[in-house]
Chains A and B, each alone.
Chain A
Amino acid sequence: MFSLFDIAGPIMVGPSSSHTAGAAKIGQFARAIFDATPTKVHFLLHGSFGEVYKGHATDRALLGGIMKMPPNDPRIKEAFFIAAEKGIMACFEPGNLGTSYHPNSVKITLENDERKMEIIGSSIGGGNIVINRIDGFDVNLTGNSAEQYFTLVTENENTPGILAKITGFLDRKGVRIVNMQSSYLAFENKVLSVLSVDKELTLPEVLELEKEEGVLFARSLKKLPQ
């Protein structure tokens, strides 16, 4: 069902809800899950994103999102300048992700000295987004869900009972699970789980979860600012 604020909103920097506001949100999510300031970011712009990104400032909005700017942050206009100051190298390239993706999609590759991460997200209209892929794992996480709940992402070995271990851990910490999805990558025999939860895990709790056997990494995301 539509909310009042789906119609009267979002508050955003122009000019386009799908090409600017949605792009900033995808960038914000990528930054949140990368959990550090990247030194290098590559954006592969798919479909309409690749065709009209300059005129709609999709590039500045994506880059602004990578620097934690929400869609209504006027600094998005100066995103290139601010990124240069922060030493973030950004590269934009029109490309093709295949027909299974929405015309307004982007593959973001973030890098720093320690790690590299790849996210695909789509801007599906009116500033709403979906995250489709995290590091090769197919997921389906909506921007609304990432705004309303805390998101916990874990990468695990595909061993029996691994999900029970994670949910049991959350049970012990008194965290309620609102939604949970898992994606299996046969090639690596790994599972990525995305959980929408009602409480944020503290850093010690995340480290504790990562010590569980079979859990390769865990990341607790704050609610995306609206």
Chain B
Amino acid sequence: MSDSFFFHNGEELLAKCAEHKMGIWEVMLNYEVQLSGKSREEVMENLRVRLCVMFDSIESAIKNPEISASGMAGKSTPLLAKAVRDFKKIGGELLMDEVAVRAMLGAIATGENNARMGVILAFPTAGAAGVIPGVMYGAKSKFGFTEDQLIKMMLTASAVGIIIANTATLSGAASGCQAEIGSATAMAAAALTEIRGKNPEISLHAAAIALKNLIGLACDPIGGLVEVPCIKRNAVAAVYSMAASDMAYLGIESVVPFDEVVRAMREVGELISPKLRETALGGLATTPTGQSIAKKMGLMHISCNSCNN
């Protein structure tokens, strides 16, 4: 038995969990202790600070909503915040329950705070920063997670993020939005599953189900800004994570194992045109609306799609 906690892919992570009889979160914690030479307490404290940043970011956007410089972001947080406040009254008309609406609020508030240059935690990236705090904000209201449990969720999520970063990438410029929002949903789904008492295998099934759903997602932001479609995409992705986690929780397995899904994501990333990799040269960025907003903002490096047709 080796004393190492290092892992590079899902298979190695599961082996470490079995070897040390630990959950994903605890293997991740030991990995970091081993890598950094810091104590367990120091690592946990550092995570606590980051957890506070995530929740402060949500609260600050709810308390002081602000329209971003482009005018595209800042209007959704107040609407969702109002829905959460009046959920008893309005909840009957909505399709989703309070947990899901809160998750969307947490995700959108983070994204809108990012767009107006508020302080956020890039987890795993700034563009996909809303998904994980979003599901925490939602699920916490139902299960009453403690600070300690939320930190464990951060650890589980980070382990999944490390695997994706090792095998593929977390960068939209390199591999499209699947690498950012896709990765974030996989991270969140695994965290939601493990914190509800499921074992590491089942948690990685949740991650696989979530990531499979977003393979091929283009990174086509208007004007190259981290606003449209990024912010609302975070909200929908938070709900995806919960769906994937519930499926795994009920015993549904991913036919393709997580490691293979990540490799498939990398392959698809190589096939995605550079126009759809954070260059604002295709997709939503080059729609008439996208181009006119970019022009108004003075962000003119837009090719003309319609001329090519």
CB within 8 Å of B: which residues of A?
1-18, 20-21, 48, 51-52, 54-57, 60, 72, 74, 76-77, 125-127
Chain A, Cβ-Cβ closest to B122? A17
Question: Is the Cβ of B158 less than 8 Å from the Cβ of A16?
Answer: no
Q: Of the candidates B31, B113, B119, B225, which one forms a contact with A11 in the assembled complex, judged by CB atoms under 8 Å apart?
A: B119
* Residues of B close to A72: CB separation below 8 A: 119
> When chains A and B are docked, how far (Å) is the Cα of A137 from the Cα of B64?
47
Q: Of the candidates B118, B121, B122, which one forms a contact with A126 in the assembled complex, judged by CB atoms under 8 Å apart?
A: B122
Chain A, Cβ-Cβ closest to B116? A14
17 A-B pairs in the complex with CB atoms less than 8 angstroms apart: A4-B155, A7-B124, A7-B158, A8-B47, A8-B157, A11-B49, A12-B121, A12-B126, A13-B120, A15-B115, A16-B126, A20-B117, A52-B225, A54-B298, A55-B224, A126-B171, A127-B122
> When chains A and B are docked, how far (Å) is the Cα of A6 from the Cα of B121?
11
How many residue pairs, one in A and one in B, have C-beta atoms under 8 Å apart? 129
Question: Is the Cβ of B170 less than 8 Å from the Cβ of A54?
Answer: no
* Residues of A close to B154: CB separation below 8 A: 8
Question: Is the Cβ of B126 less than 8 Å from the Cβ of A52?
Answer: no
> When chains A and B are docked, how far (Å) is the Cα of A171 from the Cα of B71?
58
CB within 8 Å of A: which residues of B?
6, 28, 31-32, 35-36, 43, 46-47, 49-50, 53, 69-70, 113-127, 154-155, 157-158, 161-162, 165-166, 170-171, 173-174, 223-227, 279-280, 297-299, 301
Nearest chain A CB to B57's CB is how many angstroms away?
9
- With A2-B166, A7-B162 as known contacts, state yes or no: A12 contacts B122, CB within 8 Å: yes
| Those 5 A-B pairs whose CB atoms lie nearest each other, nearest first | A14-B114, A7-B161, A52-B224, A4-B32, A15-B226
Nearest chain A CB to B117's CB is how many angstroms away?
5
* Residue in A3, A55, A72, A77 with the greatest tally of chain B CB atoms within 10 Å: A55
* Residue in A14, A20, A56, A60 with the greatest tally of chain B CB atoms within 10 Å: A14
- With A2-B162, A54-B298, A54-B299 as known contacts, state yes or no: A15 contacts B126, CB within 8 Å: yes
Q: Of the candidates A48, A51, A60, A126, which one forms a contact with B170 in the assembled complex, judged by CB atoms under 8 Å apart?
A: A126
Q: Of the candidates B28, B122, B171, B280, which one forms a contact with A21 in the assembled complex, judged by CB atoms under 8 Å apart?
A: B122
> When chains A and B are docked, how far (Å) is the Cα of A11 from the Cα of B214?
26
* Residue in A13, A60, A77, A127 with the greatest tally of chain B CB atoms within 10 Å: A13
* Residues of A close to B298: CB separation below 8 A: 54
* Residues of B close to A6: CB separation below 8 A: 162, 165
- With A11-B50, A15-B114, A21-B126 as known contacts, state yes or no: A52 contacts B301, CB within 8 Å: yes
